Structure 1
Amino acid sequence: MNTEKVSKHIIGWLKEYAENANVNGFVVGVSGGIDSALTSTLCAKTGLPTLCVEMPIHQAESQVSRAQEHIRQLKAKFKNVSDVRVDLTNTFETFKKVVPITNDTSKVDLSLANTRARLRMTSLYYLAGIHGLLVAGTGNKVEDFGVGFYTKYGDGGVDLSPIADLMKSEVYALAAFLEVPNSIQTAQPTDGLFGDSRTDEDQLGASYDELEWAMQMQDAGKTEDNFNGRQQEVFKIYARLNRINQHKMLPIPVCEIPKELK
């Protein structure tokens, strides 16, 4: 990948889209992870107002410190970058008190994890509304179109997706080219939605490099029978996640009424 040309292409695409939409710039949720760091950097380089938003909910200190380091770096480089901190911890705790729970703790834990993402989406759209900004998505190609590793109407609820055609390895390459803080480049990817130390790999059962390989193999028409050992295991993991998360990747189904019934 030609990192310089790709970065210029995305920056130009972002700027043109914002100008055609007649909006002021972008708002990005900054988590301390590689995807949000790259997205916010690309938005900043458009020269348009870019609002970086921290939205901690019982967040690990390491994630907070990385996010703050990145925001400080952006503000030092770009006069068009501003930031705001929206601590949603109390909001989240209030939500937990008013909703019913079940004895199935795994379902409760997953639903609450997704609630964190949806509270953040709501906050981003509030800020976008009052400042005339677009919500820039931070999902990459493997997450958005491979395994569906995002929350529907959470981090999947965005106005535009500048890095969704980049594989995770390409995200890292572009982040290195744009000098995203090294602490972010070397950190283990995590969605930070469970309030513990679990990584994306812990949740998915495979690394992004492995899933990227499996995505390419499936796109090439391969099946699990073409592989054995760890490769077969990874391919099965990818194929399963890709299948069960199609509801995130496909348009919302609409019940079309036959004309003769109207």
Structure 2
Amino acid sequence: MNTAAVKDHIVQWLKDYATQSGMNGFVIGVSGGIDSAVTSTLCAETGLDVLCLEMPIHQAPTQVSRALNHIEWLRENYPNVRMTQVNLTPVFDALIAALPPVANEEERFMSLANTRARLRMTSLYYFAALEKLLVAGTGNKVEDFGVGFFTKYGDGGVDLSPIADLVKTEVYALGEYMGINKAIMEAAPTDGLWGDDRTDEDQIGASYPELEWAMEQDALGKTPGDFQGRKKEVFEIYTRLNRANKHKMVPIPVCNIPLSLK
């Protein structure tokens, strides 16, 4: 990958899109992970207004510190960057208290994890509408179009996706080129939705390089029967998640009414 050229291309694409849309710039949630760090830096490079939101919900201190350190670095290097902290923990807790109890606690736990992402999306769009900004998405290609590892109408609810055509290893290459700090570069990827230290790999069962390989094999028309051992296991993980999460990756189905019925 020609990292410098890719960076310049994305920055120009962001700037052109915002300008043609008549918007002032971008708002982005900064989590302390590589995807949001790279995306926020690309937005900052446009010279347009960039509002970084740090939105903890029972967040691990290490995630908060990485996010704040990155935002401080952005503000030191880009005068167009601002930040606002929105503590969503009491909002989340109040919502839990208002919801009725359920029998299956495991399903409830998963639903509440996705609710965290949707509360953050709501906050991003509040500031977007208030200040005429575009919500910049942070999903990469494997997450958005491979295994569907995002929350529908949560972190998937955005106006534009600057890095969604880059796989995770390419995002890391871009981060290294742009000087993203070492703590973020070395941190294990996590969605930060659980209030503990579980990583993306813990949840998925495969690393991002493995998933990138599986995504390439799937595009070539391979099947699980073409592989053995760990490769077969990874490919089965990829294809299972791809099927299960397809509803996130395709347009909302519309029931078209025949003209004869109207």
| Superposition TM-score, scaled by structure 2 size | 0.99
After the TM superposition, which residues 34-73 of structure 1 pair with which residues of structure 2 at under 5 Å, given as runs? 34-73=34-73
Q: Deviations over 1:64-116 (max 9, x none)?
A: 00001100100000000000000000000000011122121111000000000
Match for residue 119 of structure 1?
119
Pairing 1:178-257 to 2, within 5 Å after superposition = 178-257=178-257
Q: Distance in 2 between matches of 1:125 and 1:117?
A: 13
| Residue identity opposite 1:124 in structure 2 | L
Give the counterpart letter for 1:61 in structure 2. Answer: P
Deviations 1:182-238 (A, max 9, x none): 100000000010111110001001000100100000001111111000000000000
Which residue type is aligned with residue 57 of structure 1? I
Give the Cα separation in 1 of the matches to 2:224 and 2:101: 39
Q: What's the TM-score once normalised by structure 1's chain length? A: 0.99
Give 2:97's aligned amino acid.
Answer: K
User: Runs of 4 or more off by more than 3 Å in structure 1?
Assistant: none
Q: Secondary structure at the match of 1:75?
A: helix
TM alignment of 1:126-137, pairs within 5 A: 126-137=126-137
Alignment of 1:136-215 (within 5 A): 136-215=136-215
One-letter amino acid of the counterpart of residue 84, structure 1: T
Gaps of 5+ in 2: none
Amino acid in the other structure paired with 1:222: K
Q: What is the number of equivalent residue pairs in this alignment? A: 262
- SS of equivalent to 1:137: coil
Matched with 2:8 is 8
Q: Distance in 1 between the 2:107 and 2:238 partners?
A: 22
Structure 1 residue 181: Cα displacement: 0.7
Give the distance between the partners of 2:100 and 2:235, measured in 1 at CA. Answer: 38
- Give the aligned partner of residue 100 of structure 2: 100
SS at match of 1:134: strand
- Greater CA drift, 9-18 or 100-109: 100-109
